[in-house]
Amino acid sequence: MYRWLTAHICAFARLLAERLLHEECASLRSTLRAEFRKYSSELRARLPATLVQCLIVAEDHRFYLHGGLDPIAIGRCLIEAPFGRRMAGASTVEQQLVRTLTKRYERSLRRKLREILLASTVSTVIAKADVPGLYLSVAYMGWQMNGIKEACHRFGIALEEMTPRQAASLVARLKYPQPRECSIQRSQQIAGRANHILTRATRLELTWGDVTAEGAASATIYS
């Protein structure tokens, strides 16, 4: 039911995006192709599955079940919005990728709707399995850490030898970017987020190194 619902919603969103945001869609497709060429040549063959798994578990556990939009998360946020709660947890990996590439971070309903529509078009350019890696290649993780390559360089982590703990710690910085001078509070936030990611992966009985982690996504479809 969820797959059917999200497929139809994404199809409708793509139609709206092409009609209402035609120029922005064209610009996004061009940027996606350029970034994917760079990602393919530098990172794609070396990116550890463990890192992708941590991203899916932490940021978008229904990733393999939707086409760029998560109706359940969006619906929950729409219900909570009138009560003044922050719209957190509704962004799919595709939405976060769009936000990073377009560099639009303002907190407004208009920006969010625009992001949702553009995210529905990502699958017309990039294969689903490549979206997490592409996002990690450009995601902001803190000072002098624009993308996983710079983050690994800063912390002296070898991509090919990355442990689950290191992967979780890096992904934690998506929510809590590390500043140049990291405070005790921010260090605790990063450590706590990393522990949460690892705990969740354990609860889902995730096998580290599994290529897709689709089992993790389907196991939490309604959570």
Span 4-36, pLDDT tens digits: 989 999 999 999 999 999 999 999 999 999 999
The pTM score is: 0.89
Q: Is 89 left (phi over 0), alpha (psi -120 to 50) or beta?
A: left
Specify the 3-state DSSP secondary structure of 142: strand
Q: In the predicted model, what is the mean pLDDT of residues 156-172? A: 96
Beta strands in 62-179 (DSSP E): 140-142, 145-146
Q: What angle do CA 222, 214, 68 make, to 5 degrees?
A: 70
Tell me the per-residue pLDDT of 172-216, one tens digit each, with 9 for 90 and over: 999 999 999 999 999 999 999 999 999 999 887 766 665 443 444
Please provide the CATH number assigned to the domain covering 2-219.
1.10.3810.10
